Amino acid sequence: MKVLGVDISMNNLGLSLGELDDHTLALSFTELITIKTKKDGKFIKQFNQRMDDLRRARLLVEGFREMEEKCEIIFVELPHGSQSSRAMTSYGMSIMLMAYTLKPVIVVTPNQVKVVATHYGEASKKEMVKWASDKYPNATWKKSKAGVIYENNEHNADAIAAVEAGILLDSFVNAKIMMEYL
């Protein structure tokens, strides 16, 4: 079964495409990408903040669409709550991006993602990258001469952990049964 792990925000969209053996639940990951969007001050000056948000949302949709076509089911760590209007904009984009797909979506919490990787809920990004790159060394990690680098891999590590956490949930078992009948 082709699976897609997603770690989503307005700035970084981590997408980890993998293969799940639906009998043994063994995972492998074949393609890791992170789509980065940044605020464009020149664009905002010429147009406005809303138009820049729309530009960034389209970049996320385009990258997501490309990976989504390759999978059968999606596992996502959705953000929750917000402390500012900008965070709420990111939250809205995240929800809308997941609403866009017609594929089954299994939602996991940030705590579930961290616990599946490190067995406690306060894991750092660096710990998440180490866990994921150690467990899946053949994935397409961004590397330097010294090995897997922390920067630019943290969103893919979280996306991988979203898949691992999601396959433990009853909602995945139910989705898998439904997919067999469709």
Model pLDDT for residues 114-141, shown as the tens digit of each residue: 999 999 888 999 999 999 999 999 999 8
Residues in the chain: 182
Give the rounded percent of residues in the chain with a pLDDT score beyond 70.
93
pLDDT at 87: 83
CB 162 within 8 Å of CB 128: no
Q: What is the pTM of this model?
A: 0.90
Left (φ > 0), alpha (ψ -120 to 50) or beta: where does 3 sit? Answer: beta
What confidence score (pLDDT) does residue 38 get?
82
Query: What pLDDT score was predicted for residue 43?
Result: 63
Cα–Cα dist 28/123, whole Å: 22
79 pLDDT more than 80: no
Question: Which helix (H) or strand (E) element contains residue 44?
Answer: helix 41-46
Class of domain 2-181: alpha beta
Q: What is the pLDDT at residue 4?
A: 98
Q: For residue 150, is pLDDT > 80?
A: no
Q: Tell me the pLDDT of the chain averaged across its residues.
A: 89
pLDDT value, residue 16: 98
What would the pLDDT profile of 20-71 be if each residue is shown by its tens digit?
998 899 999 999 999 998 877 666 666 777 888 888 899 999 999 999 999 9
| Residue 6 token pair | 């997603």
List of residues 6+ apart from 77 with CB closer than 8 A: 6, 7, 8, 107, 108, 109, 110, 112, 113, 158, 159, 161, 162
Report angle CA 8, 10, 12 to the nearest 5 degrees: 60
pLDDT confidence of residue 144: 77
d(CA 43, CA 83): 26
* Structure confidence at residue 45 (pLDDT): 66
Question: Residues 74-80: what's their mean pLDDT?
Answer: 88
> Strands 73-77 and 2-8, how do they pair?
parallel
